[in-house]
Structure 1
Amino acid sequence: MSTPLISPKLAAPGLVLGCVVFGLGSVIVKFVPVGGYAIAFWRLALAAVVFWLLMRFFGQRLPKSSRARRFALLSGVFLAFDLAFWHESIHAVGPGISTLLNSLQIFFLAAIAWFFFGERQTRLQLVSLVIAIGGVLLIASPELRHNLDAGYGILMGLVSGAMLAASMACIRQTHTAEPTALFPLMLLVSLGGAAVLILPSLLLNADALYPTTWRDIGLILIYAVVMQCFAWGLIAYAIPLLSLTLTGLLLLSEPVAALLIDYFWLHKPINGWQWAGAALTLLAIYLGSLKPRKTPKAA
């Protein structure tokens, strides 16, 4: 059995770091003139090359289980459309609101955890879910009032959240079928996603299929290597080590990061209700991370 790259105790903070870096990719998507489906294809295709090289360098192997391979590829399919729809939402309503809408995947993760994995939420987790939902709504509501005509972007942002939740659930199923090393797992995820995006990219982004300047090429390389290989790799590592409910709560660190990016980097005005929403979201993450105390058994 291969030695983990990082300690399992660091799964939760690693997931948060991965989400924050993942969210930074929205800024690149905003300023690179490549179609939403096409840039998702390039991100996954380039990442597949990096993960193949890392897999060979570290001597890791693809899973032997055909079920594990199928779930890893299927995770890539869902991730591909999560990225593509998220990119479409970024172009329609901007990085901040698109990331906030994508973060509503917590609803879908909780539903998947309940119906498919039998994860029963504790009262504290249910309270934290309600607080988290309220926090995200406080952050997003002013944006929604100013973007009532951007129905397409809002819809794409919401659907991308469902795709992200499904991708994460498939990663969990991959490990259930066969414990899989990180680099082979991410290679399969990237290959599955890139393959399914070839046709949509050609059909829907024919006029913006590839970068045309060295600056844009460099940004896409950063998007693939840093956001896909590093950030998504951390997320994929952490998912099987945490419950899906806690995973969903920790992923809410991404919209908070998006809010800070909008304010400090893009100089977007943020009102008091949105800052209150960020505080509530962080409180929900803390409450959701608390483990219930075990009742001592009677002698």
Structure 2
Amino acid sequence: MLGALAGALIIATSAILVRQSGASAAPASFFRCLFALPVLGALSVRDRRRRPALPARGRWTAWAAGVLLAVDLVLWSRAIGYVGAGLATVLANLQVLLVAGLAWWLLDERPSRSLLAAVPAMVVGVALISGVGSQHTYGANPGLGALFGAVASVAYAAFLLVFRHGMPAPGPGNNAVQPLFHATVGATAGCAVLALATRDFALGPAWPALGWLALLAMSSQVVAWLLITNSLPRLPAALTSAVLLVQPVGAVALGALLFAEHPSPGQLAGVALVLVGVLVATAAEPLLARFRLLSRSRAMGRAG
């Protein structure tokens, strides 16, 4: 629980550090991944001394997942510039719906009823964050920020599915260190290609920009990822979703505190709808299943 909570709190600072660096989207994403590689590489080498090396297919899958992560990071960083650090982080939580949709389409994994029930609330929430129906919204271009955030969520959802497909089978002999290292290799290369394709090289003064991005790499790309990937599988689903809500709530609070980001009442209502949708989509079905199981057990006990 503490590990997952710490990871979520660390990731809540990601957008803040991107904005603090002053770098544009592609360089911020590239250096975030590049600075994480030496640490993840050392951990991966250490892991291979105790566990089998990731097979070739797993490495290729992780590299492909990393390219999708690069698309997500660059688009998400662009969204920060248009709609602010807090709201951009809230928009990233759309991946909860998109992962389920892609899994249904590609893997025939039918989504739960609670997730389908959460769709209308989250769609309305995104519309409110984008400024639909309001003339007083926070952000240089909240509509474009919402668009970039939504497309980034599609890329992130695809990343999660591909990354999960390449992960070794769960068990005491496996963890996420090696797949995460190879995914970060792919993400670094993908960010470099996107920077060249979009001619986005704006970094600003090397110091302190690179210092902020190095901190981002060590905190979010290394420590937080390892904490979350090793902690969340051991937690109940309802608790997992509650912990993950710390990330967007924390980002909105930090954006208001550090950068005076003050979303309009309509945008805050959109934030609330997106977060409620995430909670319903990820927690309601496991709780209902447990309640039904408990009810059946009590009925069988009375019958006995």
What's the TM-score bracket when you normalise by the shorter of the two chains?
A: 0.7 to 0.9
Q: Specify the alignment match of 2:195 in structure 1.
A: 201
Post-superposition shift, 1:121? 3.4
TM-aligned CA distance change 1:30 to 1:226, over 3 Å: same
Q: Specify the alignment match of 2:167 in structure 1.
A: 175
User: Greater CA radius of gyration, 1 or 2?
Assistant: 2
Task: Give 2:158's match in structure 1, choosing from 155, 158, 166.
Answer: 166
TM-aligned CA distance change 1:66 to 1:282, over 3 Å: same
Q: Distance in 1 between matches of 2:193 and 2:234?
A: 35
Q: Specify the alignment match of 1:35 in structure 2.
A: 24
Q: Specify the alignment match of 2:218 in structure 1.
A: 225
Q: Distance in 2 between matches of 1:192 and 1:209?
A: 21
Q: Is the 8 A contact 2:40 2:181 kept in 1?
A: yes
- For residue 96 of structure 1, give the secondary structure of its aligned residue in structure 2: helix
Post-superposition shift, 1:194? 0.7
Q: Specify the alignment match of 1:126 in structure 2.
A: 116
TM-aligned CA distance change 1:149 to 1:89, over 3 Å: closer
The two structures, once aligned, show a CA RMSD in angstroms of 3.7
Task: Show the 5 A alignment for 1:180-195.
Answer: 180-195=174-189
Q: Distance in 2 between matches of 1:92 and 1:119?
A: 35
Q: Deviations over 1:255-294 (max 9, x none)?
A: 3222222333333335555555555555555543242133
Post-superposition shift, 1:148? 8.2
TM-aligned CA distance change 1:144 to 1:255, over 3 Å: farther
Q: Distance in 2 between matches of 1:248 and 1:272?
A: 25
Q: Specify the alignment match of 2:93 in structure 1.
A: 103
Name the TM-score, length of structure 1 as normaliser. 0.77
TM-aligned CA distance change 1:148 to 1:219, over 3 Å: closer
1:116 aligns with 2:106: yes
- For residue 181 of structure 1, give the secondary structure of its aligned residue in structure 2: coil
Count of aligned residue pairs for this structure pair: 287
Name the TM-score, length of structure 2 as normaliser. 0.76
Moved more, 20-29 or 283-292: 283-292
Post-superposition shift, 1:77? 0.7
Unaligned runs of 5+ in 1: 1-9
Post-superposition shift, 1:100? 2.8
Q: Is the 8 A contact 2:8 2:247 kept in 1?
A: yes
Post-superposition shift, 1:89? 1.7
Task: Give 1:156's match in structure 2, choosing from 139, 145, 148.
Answer: 148
TM-aligned CA distance change 1:245 to 1:37, over 3 Å: farther
Post-superposition shift, 1:86? 0.9
How many percent of aligned residue pairs carry the same amino acid? Answer: 26
TM-aligned CA distance change 1:191 to 1:82, over 3 Å: same
TM-aligned CA distance change 1:228 to 1:81, over 3 Å: same
Q: Distance in 1 between matches of 2:126 and 2:150?
A: 13
Post-superposition shift, 1:204? 3.6
Task: Show the 5 A alignment for 1:200-279.
Answer: 200-205=194-199, 207-209=201-203, 212-213=206-207, 215-237=208-230, 251=244, 253-270=246-263, 272-273=265-266
- For residue 262 of structure 2, give the secondary structure of its aligned residue in structure 1: coil
Q: Deviations over 1:183-211 (max 9, x none)?
A: 21111011011112223324545652575
Unaligned runs of 5+ in 2: none
- For residue 109 of structure 2, give the secondary structure of its aligned residue in structure 1: coil
Q: Distance in 2 between matches of 1:182 and 1:116?
A: 23
Q: Deviations over 1:153-198 (max 9, x none)?
A: 3332221111111111112101267875322111101101111222
1:70 aligns with 2:60: yes
Q: Deviations over 1:208-256 (max 9, x none)?
A: 257521x222211101000111223334446777999998887554332
TM-aligned CA distance change 1:52 to 1:193, over 3 Å: same
TM-aligned CA distance change 1:76 to 1:240, over 3 Å: farther
TM-aligned CA distance change 1:220 to 1:92, over 3 Å: same
Q: Is the 8 A contact 2:27 2:201 kept in 1?
A: no
